[in-house]
Structure 1
Amino acid sequence: MILGLTRSWSLIGYLITAVLLLPLLALIVQATQPDEAVFTHLFDTVLPTYIYNSLLLMLLVGFGSLVIAIPAAWFVARCEFPGRRYFQWLLLLPLAMPAYIVAYVYTDMLDYAGPVQRAMRTWFEWQTPQDYYFPAIRSIGGAAIMLSLVLFPYIYLLARTAFMEQSSHLLHASRVMGCGPWRSFWRLALPMARPALAVGVALVAMETAADFATVSYFAVPTLTTAVYDTWLGYGSLTAAAKLSAIMLLVVFSMVGVERFARRKQQLFQKQSRLNEADRYHLAPTKAWAAWSYCMGLLVVSFILPFAVLCAYAVDYFSESWDDRFWQYSINSLYIAAIVSFICVAFAVVLMFVRRVSPRPSDKLASRLSSTGYALPGTVLAIGVLVPLTYADFAINDLMTWFGAKGPGLLFTGSVFALIFAFCVRFVAIAIGSLESSYKRISPSLDMASITLGQSPRQLLRSVHLPLLRKGMFAGALLVFIESMKELPAALLLRPIGFENLATYVFQFVSDEKLEHGALAAIVIVLVGLVPLIYLNRSLEQSR
């Protein structure tokens, strides 16, 4: 720590934190404003249904993802079977696939007019829907399955890491005491992995609460769609802010419940390096079953939807390869590039202040700046609209008072609002990446630099930045990819006539014409694969 840190660095850190917290504070203030007509109408009619569906969907997706991910994580971490080395990173690929694309593909396949039901009617000579029962894909259960297929890698990754870090001596001791592989897993390995599983379920629940496209496509009314419909349908920013505050309460309550449930849990174990001898060498039949499970999960969650996209892109290539595709790709690229640069710059300043300052308030600034990542896209959009709308009106009123013509919607009518929202939401990713890199820089380097008479600015430029290049690149890359994929905030905050790849693809999904947007969807998926490959390489190097 540098006691001589100039006050200007702290002030810059406080200013960045205040800007990043502005949407959350504005949302809370706006939610306290009176708007009895619209919100009372929603409260008396559909709000209980919105809340019930949101909680039920989070519960179903969390449970479904947990059930899917745990066997795959155990097979890959603790069992030896053909293809295990490849499945440990292949099972991360579904994260690159947007859930609404998976939902469209399976709806097209499983709906009444889809190939599956047509084949069943042909084989069994059924004539009408009354002749047989087929579960409705456009339901809350169908939405839960689609989201589980995309979000289970969160739990899989954390569970796999937890299983691999568990001491092999404990598992060997359980075998000596007469526990077979199943009892060792159920009574020892699974309870020890509970903290990681709880964090994974919490992440999945927050992602489910933030999802808009899938539930909108399946016509499942949730709080996310309620915020969107209230703002665009009723035109009530205050009612939308009240619904957003309820969403925040739900999300933070789930996180609080998860932490409260394991507040007294303590786990102490000696970690040991996992080698080939520590894994269970499965018999041929069981090895085939493990391979089949992992392969089947990979096929239904990634390979099949991606293959369908590729087939669509080939068949409709001439319709997709046009000027709009290039223009929207450029829009996505330059927005993502600007956001990644700003987020990394903010993260560098915040983490530098946190590194060199002894004051607790300076250290708290970087932590508060990361809260935006917990805000769902629709909630964040309302939080951004509130202060920027007031700013636009204030500037125009001021210009009118001076007798000049106002600039119009300077902030909310341009890409500024979109960039601001993305920075608030994704700066936490850059902060996390730089925090990991800063832990590898020895404090003795800071002390040596100060001894040589360098100022804080010289320390940052000459010592920290060269050593942080890898972390800065990783943070910029992750922010870039997330900005390319973000949909709810883009739908609400985009200027009139502005589209990016995410909104472009979603419009085709909403119109049941994904075939025409398949090429753009493939670009989103391929770009999303980049951080997954980087993540897997980082995990392998750390091991």
Structure 2
Amino acid sequence: GAALMLTIVLYPYVYLLARASFRQQSGNAFLVARTLGRSPMQAFWRVALPMARPAIAGGALLAIMETIADFGTVAFFNVQTFATGIYQAWFSLGDRAAAAQLALCLLAFALLLAGLERSSRGRSRTAGRGARFETMERPVLKGAAGWGAFLLCFLPVLLGFVLPVIMLGVMAIGSGQNILSARYLGFMSNSILLASVAAVLTVAGAILVGFRARTRPGRSSRWLVLGAGLGYAVPGGVIAVGLMVPMAGLDNAIDAVMQETFGIRTGLLITGSIWLMILAYIVRFMAAALNAYDSGMATVPGHLDAIGRSLGQPGPKLLTRVHLPVARTSVVTALLIVFVDVMKELPATLILHPFDVQTLAVQAHRLAADERLSEAAVPSLVLVGFGLIPVLILCRTLGRESMGRRAAKLGTAISAG
């Protein structure tokens, strides 16, 4: 049951990245495979799928890390994992040493997974698109094939969205909650503000890390990428406590110095603000943004960097005029993933949020913990709605952006001076 629930919840990680990768592929390679006698299915398995492997592997790694760090689902189904063991040791037994040992094992497992994925990728690279870029012609399925494709694609949507929303809607009717009240508007504004700021800062950090790893390959860059991605495998509560303890000590030290020197009490400057929450979100979801950005850059041939430098686009200009225009869809995907993840993040928010900053996730958790499930359905539905907005924006962006314009954009970016 837990595995089925996690599959239904986490399949968009692979779907979004794979869809962006398939959209970036030229139809030329597929057509060449067809002219060489391959059937459409053989051309897909031998050409299109290997070209999308970096995106699929990145999405699968995100899903695996989210699974080993998940707490709510496995706790509900009473499955003993590292995440539940850490929470039980820390919050129920008060044994910080045991919780630290379990967290260290979880970190080691995450490092092993990331290392295996990188080593399995090896030196494989995606070929360039070429000067002529042809989009794939969309096939038209009719009859049994069309209905079979529709049912197969609609099944995860039915189980992961339609049925839960219907159940939450039935529970929310008559709950007495007013989502337009000042209280709920405050929950919404706090959630949107935290998710937006955290998404922008996290993706910006991921772009810088990915740019360094691409332009300065080496052992230090590989370790930097691995270190940036480890936070995704650690439960949010562990990251929150790990940040809160040293930052509280720093706040107390600053307060003591200011009181002794100037007679002023500063209080909790860091731990009492939302910036510690945003720092925890950045650490937690850096891997999600990095994998999304890296999957987009994997389709860009390395010689384009040398061409850009020879045309007077060094350093920051190479990033802003060559890399970012090409990886635009991947950057939007990264923003979407981090935004939605921050909106629904609960453990870190529960531990670090100031008293006057409440979010939709915290409100839904408190109502559900009090067995007020009908009332908890209201903030849950609002969370679903806000999570659906960026998904629709991304789908519209992917749907209307032609590959020909992107190829022309790439040529303009390289030649611009």
Runs of 5+ in structure 2 lacking a partner?
A: 404-417
SS at match of 1:167: helix
Q: Aligned match of 2:33 in 170, 177, 199?
A: 170
- CA distance in structure 2 between the aligned counterparts of 1:226 and 1:323, rounded to whole angstroms: 39
Show the 5 A alignment for 1:417-428.
417-426=276-285
Q: Taking structure 1 as reference, are residues 207 and 432 closer, same or farther at Cα in structure 2, changes over 3 Å only? A: closer
Cα distance in 2 for residues equivalent to 1:347 and 1:285: 44
- Partners of 1:473 and 1:186 lie apart in 2 by 26
**1:253: Cα distance to partner?**
1.4
Q: Give the 5 Å matches for 1:65-464.
A: 142-157=1-16, 165=25, 167-170=30-33, 184=42, 192=50, 195=53, 197-261=56-120, 263=122, 273-276=135-138, 279=139, 281=141, 284-318=143-177, 322-340=181-199, 342-343=201-202, 367=225, 370-371=228-229, 374-376=232-234, 377-398=236-257, 404=263, 407-426=266-285
**Matching of residue 533 in structure 1 with residue 392 in structure 2:** yes
Counterpart Cα distance in 2 of 1:269 and 1:364: 24
* Distance in 2 between residues matched to 1:246 and 1:403, nearest whole Å: 46
Kept after mapping to 2: 8 A contact 1:381/1:421: yes
TM-aligned CA deviation for residue 427 of structure 1: 5.2
Shift of 1:206: 0.9
- The 1-side partners of 2:123 and 2:225 are apart by 24
Q: Which residue in 2 is equivalent to 1:513? A: 372
Q: How far apart, CA to CA, are the structure 1 residues paired with 2:377 and 2:199?
A: 26
- Opposite residue 393 of structure 2, the aligned amino acid is Y
* Structure 1 residue 385: Cα displacement: 2.5
The CA distance in 2 between the partners of 1:162 and 1:477, in whole Å, is 16
Structure 1 unaligned blocks of 5 or more: 1-141
Give the CA deviation at 1:290: 2.5
Q: How many residues in Structure 1 have an aligned counterpart in Structure 2?
A: 388
Kindly state the Cα deviation for residue 232 of structure 1 after the two structures are TM-superposed. Answer: 2.4
Q: CA deviation at 1:327?
A: 2.9
Q: Are the structure 2 counterparts of residues 167 and 255 from structure 1 closer, same or farther at C-alpha, using a change threshold of 3 Å?
A: same
Aligned 8 A contact 1:369 1:428 in 2 = no
Tell me the residue number matched to 1:64.
none
Aligned equivalents of 2:243 and 2:91: distance in 1?
A: 15
The 1:174–1:264 alpha-carbon spacing in structure 2 relative to 1, beyond 3 Å, is farther
Alignment check: 8 A CA contact 2:111 2:226 kept: no
Q: Is the 8 A contact 1:484 1:524 kept in 2?
A: yes
Per the alignment, do residues 409 and 216 of structure 1 end up closer, same or farther by CA in structure 2, a change over 3 Å counting?
farther
Distance 2:166 2:219 in 1: 51
Secondary structure of the structure 2 residue equivalent to 1:331: helix
Counterpart CA distance in 2 for 1:228 and 1:340 is 26
CA deviations on 1:63-103 (whole Å, 9 max, x unpaired) are xxxxxxxxxxxxxxxxxxxxxxxxxxxxxxxxxxxxxxxxx
Q: Which has the larger radius of gyration?
A: 1
**Which residue type is aligned with residue 275 of structure 1?**
E
What are the Cα deviations for residues 115-155 of structure 1, in whole angstroms up to 9, with x where unaligned? xxxxxxxxxxxxxxxxxxxxxxxxxxx11111111112333
SS of equivalent to 2:173: helix
Q: CA 1:144–1:379 in structure 2 vs 1: closer, same or farther (change >3 Å)?
A: same
In 2, Cα distance between equivalents of 1:212 and 1:313: 25
For the residues of structure 2 that align with 1:347 and 1:253, how far apart are their CA atoms?
21
| Cα distance in structure 2, aligned partners of 1:269 and 1:346 | 27
By how many angstroms is 1:516 displaced? 0.5
Give the aligned residue type for 1:249.
A
1:333–1:484 Cα contact (<8 Å) kept: yes
Q: Residue by residue, what CA displacement relative to the aligned partner does 1:331-384 show, whole Å, maximum 9, x if unpaired?
A: 2233334434544665687789889x9897997898478436534323322331
Question: CA contact under 8 A between 1:366 and 1:431: conserved in structure 2?
Answer: no
- For residue 424 of structure 1, report the CA deviation from its aligned partner: 2.8
Distance (Å, rounded) in 1 between the aligned partners of 2:193 and 2:49: 46
Cα distance 1:218–1:291, how it changes in 2: closer, same or farther (>3 A)?
same
Q: How far does the alpha carbon of each residue in 1:271-292 deviate from its partner, in whole angstroms, 9 at most, with x for none?
A: 974324xx4845x233323322
**Counterpart residue identity of residue 365, structure 2:** F
Q: Distance in 1 between matches of 2:343 and 2:192?
A: 7
Give the Cα–Cα distance (whole angstroms) in 2 for the partners of residues 326 and 214 of structure 1: 28
Give yes or no for contact 2:239–2:348 (8 Å, CA) kept in 1.
yes
Cα RMSD after superposing both structures: 5.0
Partner Cα distance (2:365, 2:140) in 1: 45
Which of 470, 483, 487 is residue 346 of structure 2 equivalent to?
487
Classify the secondary structure of the residue corresponding to 2:116.
helix
State the 1:490 CA deviation.
1.2
Residues 190-235 of structure 1, C-alpha deviations (whole Å, 9 max, x = no match): 9847945544432221111122222233333322222233332334
Counterpart contact for 1:433–1:471, Cα < 8 Å = no
Q: Deviations over 1:473-510 (max 9, x none)?
A: 94666544432222222123224564311121123333
Change (3 A) 1:194 1:344: closer
Alpha-carbon deviation of 1:398? 4.0
What corresponds to 1:111 in structure 2? none
Q: d(CA) in 2 for partners of 1:530 and 1:222?
A: 33
Question: Secondary structure of 2:270's match?
Answer: coil
Identify the residue that residue 6 of structure 1 maps to in structure 2: none
Counterpart in the other structure of 1:4: none
C-alpha change, 1:171 and 1:510, in structure 2 (3 Å) is: farther
